[in-house]
Chain A
Amino acid sequence: MIYDVVILGGGPAGLAAAVEAKNAGAENVLILERDRELGGILNQCIHNGFGLHTFNEELTGPEYAERYIDQVIALNIPYLLNTMVLDLHDNGALKSIHMINEENGYLIIEARAVILTMGCRERTSGAIGIPGYRPSGVFTAGTAQRFINMEGYLPGKKVVILGSGDIGLIMARRMTLEGAHVQAVCELMPYSNGLVRNIVQCLDDYNIPLKLSHTITFIHGKDRLEGVTIAKVDEKLKVIPKTEEFIPCDTLLLSVGLIPENEITRNAGIVIDNRTNGAIVGELRQTSMPGVFACGNVVHVHDLVDFVSEEAVLAGKGAVNYINGDLASEVTFTTSNGDGIGYVVPQQVAIKNVADKVTFYMRVRQVFQDQVVNAYIGDQLIATKKEPKLLPAEMINFNITKDVLAQYPAGEIRFVVEEAR
């Protein structure tokens, strides 16, 4: 059988994309999931705070996932679990997907359109190269979260957390509730990388100190972790001598960033953006390979699942438009990140595919007060986004209407942080 749309990943992005593709008219949609159930990382996120934008209520991760899983079931969208995609090939009009699972063995299926929704993974201690020993007891925050929330086991009792990403903050509270003593959260930067609400609800409410401009300089313990040495860093992020402090602990959690998981994307030859580590995408999340779309954390790391779902709707629409021959391929605008901006998604816009507006997602490189984000085409200021404070931890959604964009024949849309005029 030839599928209309095959979706690589049954997490929040994949579920929402599948629902949208089916609702938009795709007949044969299939979801491929490597884990043992649908829902992706949401299944281990048992805290609440999901869905405020989408559903106007505070759901837990599994509850948020369930809303979409219910729709997938109601729409009779088939899915395969415990299924690992090995390769994606472009055969022109059709894509072939090589995959394996225990029940069906080695399978090759064909699809008119493919949506990549593989999510992201955590940066590791190896990647950041902390000196010292290599004992057990050093976990990425997400791995610890899985052990606690999915397997029912605690990784340890005296905890230090490096990095103030959201998962690290959530785990500080989770481990405290489990009776562990979380002694400190150390953050290399002078500002947190997590959402403000998580700092308040997960650290402040439990008197867990957040040590900004601190890093770990040594991991102690030959077999199991016995402690860490922390130290202050200067504005160049170099350790300040004689600020070292030993903290005994049996567990170190790392929450030092997420990386989009694009092995399949890279092997397929799809063009990747070095800034996001995800595919270069258009307004409907089309990639450089015609008929292949990508959305969610595999494109760029989001901080709220609501925006993942929002992006997935675009990809679902795009895939159906593509199958129907209704997807314009000529790129009208490209986007670029000017001063203060780390990246912008989408990187390309085909104006013919835009209904009423384009939402540009971006992150600032550092904390800005009393500044705005301006969008320019050439010298022309076309739109401004005002926020009281611009934080690297909080993704910016910058809407520009089709009417504004339609005034320009083509060009580069450049986003910059500037003084408010």
Chain B
Amino acid sequence: MYDIAIIGAGIAGSYIARELTRYKLDIVLLDGENDVGNQITMANSAIVHAGFDASATKLKGKFNAPGNIMYEKVCDDLDVPFKRCGSLVVAHDEYEMATIHDLYQNGLKNGVPGLQILFKNAVHAMEPNLNKAICGALYAPTAGIVSPFELCIHAAENAVDNGVTLKTNHLVSDIKNHHGHFEIITNGENVKAKYVINAAGLYADDIYAMVGKPYFKLRARKGHYFIFDKEAGALVNSVIFPCPSKKGKGILVAPTVHGNLLIGPDAEPVSDKSDLATTGERLDYIKENALKNCPDLPFNKIIRSYAGLRNTPVRDTFTTTDGDFIIEESPVRGFINVAGYESPGLSSIPVVARYVVESIVKPMIPNIEENHNYNPKVRKHLRFDEMTDAEKVEIIKADPKYGKVICRCETITEGEIIDVIHRNAGARSVKAVKKRTRAGMGRCQGGFCSPRVVEILARELNVRLDDIMYDQQDSAYILSGHTKSVKEEA
């Protein structure tokens, strides 16, 4: 019997799991996917928002700015790339400037530091590649860019380092409330726990419906993105948001923390929560709208397009949305919902996790004891490409596998790939290696390195090459079997 079961190993579940290890608790972290951080965490704008847009009366407004400020420490502990590059909300006319002023005032209420309203010349001095028609902007120096899936993976790894049991490929199909404990039925082993934290992303409403009368519904909204080659990465220095309107937040242009350029997302309601298909029409829409603020976007430098889903909560009557996170002990005793966890969820997570643990979980559990062995730091990743020449010399001496480059585009060595396979919450698929090391994320998109990554995974996990999946266990196979000549030899 576990003390706490967390359903969903996305950014919320993984980070809360880690936060819980500050206490002596027996924790299990469950996910239906073949890897942690594989749904919403995997495909979003990767921005640590400054926190000026949500209303101060909402949890979003309350948690975003303080969450943002913790990012240096968090990313240092978890060894995740983070850059405080700042953001601009740009205005094209007087009407939009009025919105900029409103956002500024709201930002002050939310405690966002350093906000400034910039006029035309200052904007273009800061960002020379923007549309010359832009007449002003709200500058938020605290906004940042991060690798969301690395943050999630490293949080999960650190949680396991500190004693959490991680079970991937455990898709929850039912939960039995035995009043005193819950029994969670999965397609893997079943799990018993005294308390449950429901951090199941898009499916948190379905999960809650297994134990209680539904009081919120999650609507999936799809957003399309493009990633550009690093050659285009310096087009903007900060995150460029269009001025929000009734139609929505609009298409942003942002550098990524790894030096690429990202544009997106639109917002398209979809009924199927696994509908990650891009459409030509929507991709064109992204391009057109991104050009409004950034007219020199080099579309011939696009290396990938994809879609991600948001989980927008609709409360009570199921008709109106109050657009806020649902973070509370539910009407079912001992069952905590962390739901509707959409933007700015990533930005808020350091504070949200603390809130869940200190203000919701701790009061529930009598005689909770501190874990004095809690170590917030993951073992540092050795990123060959970022090392000095002297460090490169040393690391290859210490481990020659760092002298063998597997991914040419991103200069990722075999040593780095082997390392992420054998860490806690380690990589089991080609996509999992890609998320952790960037092998396959460059301009050749895995053309050269994917056969090598398959080979390394098979060798390190002691299985056949055709046992290695691209992503989901069993269904996302890469190879269908041996060729005739190999079969004949056998």
Contacts and interface: CB of A to CB of B under 8 A. Distances in A.
Interface string B293-318: 00000000011111000000000000
Contact of A124 (B392, B444, B475): B444
B452 to A, nearest CB: 9
A100 B392 contact: yes
Given A151-B465, A153-B479, A223-B471, 15 more contacts: A106-B403, A122-B444, A124-B443, A126-B227, A126-B303, A126-B304, A132-B277, A133-B276, A134-B276, A143-B447, A151-B455, A155-B479, A179-B484, A219-B277, A224-B475
B274 interface: yes
> Which 6 pairs across A and B sit closest by C-beta, in order of nearness?
A136-B470, A223-B475, A152-B486, A126-B304, A102-B400, A84-B405
Contact of A155 (B396, B447, B478): B478
Nearest to A105: B396
25 contacts: A34-B405, A34-B408, A82-B404, A86-B411, A105-B393, A106-B403, A121-B443, A121-B448, A126-B302, A127-B302, A127-B303, A129-B283, A131-B277, A131-B283, A133-B277, A142-B447, A143-B450, A152-B485, A152-B486, A153-B482, A154-B480, A154-B482, A157-B480, A217-B280, A219-B277
B401 interface: yes
B177 interface: no
B469 interface: yes
A125 interface: yes
Interface string B472-490: 1001111111111110000
Contact of A222 (B274, B400, B444, B484): B274
Contacts of B302: 126-127, 129
Given A105-B403, A106-B393, A131-B279, A84 B475 contact: no
Nearest to B278: A131
A178 B408 contact: no
Interface string B423-465: 0000000000000000000011111101100010000000001
A340 interface: no
B389 interface: yes
Contact of A223 (B403, B444, B445, B476): B476
Interface of B: 226-227, 274, 276-280, 283, 302-306, 389, 392-393, 396-397, 400-401, 403-405, 408-409, 411, 443-448, 450-451, 455, 465-466, 469-472, 475-486
A218 interface: yes
Nearest to B303: A126
A102 B401 contact: yes
A286 B469 CA distance: 45
Interface residues of A, number: 51
Nearest to B398: A105
A54 interface: no
Contacts of B274: 222
Which of B392, B455, B479 gathers the greatest number of chain A CB atoms within 10 Å?
B479
B403 A100 contact: yes
A167 to B, nearest CB: 11
Which of A124, A137, A224 gathers the greatest number of chain B CB atoms within 10 Å?
A224
A147 interface: yes
A195 interface: no
A179 B481 CA distance: 12
Contacts of A140: 447
Contacts of B448: 121, 143
Nearest to B430: A136
A147 B444 contact: no
A47 interface: no
B478 A136 contact: yes
A255 B230 CA distance: 24
A281 B390 CA distance: 35
Contact of A126 (B445, B455, B484, B486): B445
Nearest to B230: A263
A385 interface: no
A156 interface: yes
A121 B226 CA distance: 21
A98 interface: yes
A148 interface: yes
Contacts of B476: 135-136, 223-224
Contacts of B226: 129
Given A143-B447, A223-B472, A224-B476, A154 B280 contact: no
A261 B443 CA distance: 10
B303 A178 contact: no
Contacts of A127: 302-303, 445
Contact of A102 (B403, B469, B479): B403
Contacts of A102: 396, 400-401, 403-404
B308 to A, nearest CB: 11
A179 B304 CA distance: 32
B392 to A, nearest CB: 5
Contacts of B485: 152
Contacts of A250: 480
Nearest to A152: B486
Contacts of A124: 303, 443-445, 447
A157 B479 CA distance: 10
B283 to A, nearest CB: 6
A34 B452 CA distance: 13
Nearest to B279: A131
B403 A129 contact: no
A101 interface: yes
B466 A153 contact: yes
A125 B445 CA distance: 9
A105 B396 CA distance: 5
A103 interface: yes
B451 A147 contact: yes
B403 A101 contact: yes
A326 B470 CA distance: 54
A100 B475 CA distance: 37
Contacts of B472: 223
Contacts of A121: 443-444, 447-448
A146 interface: yes
Contacts of B303: 124, 126-127
Nearest to B405: A84
Contacts of B393: 105-106
Given A82-B404, A121-B447, A124-B445, A147 B277 contact: no
B443 to A, nearest CB: 8
A323 to B, nearest CB: 28
B305 A101 contact: no
A222 B484 CA distance: 29
Contacts of A105: 393, 396-397, 400, 403
B451 A146 contact: yes
B477 A153 contact: no
Interface string A114-126: 0000000110111
Which of A131, A137, A146, A148 gathers the greatest number of chain B CB atoms within 10 Å?
A131
Nearest to A35: B448
B385 to A, nearest CB: 9
A87 to B, nearest CB: 9
Contacts of B277: 131-133, 218-219
Which of A104, A122, A153 gathers the greatest number of chain B CB atoms within 10 Å?
A153
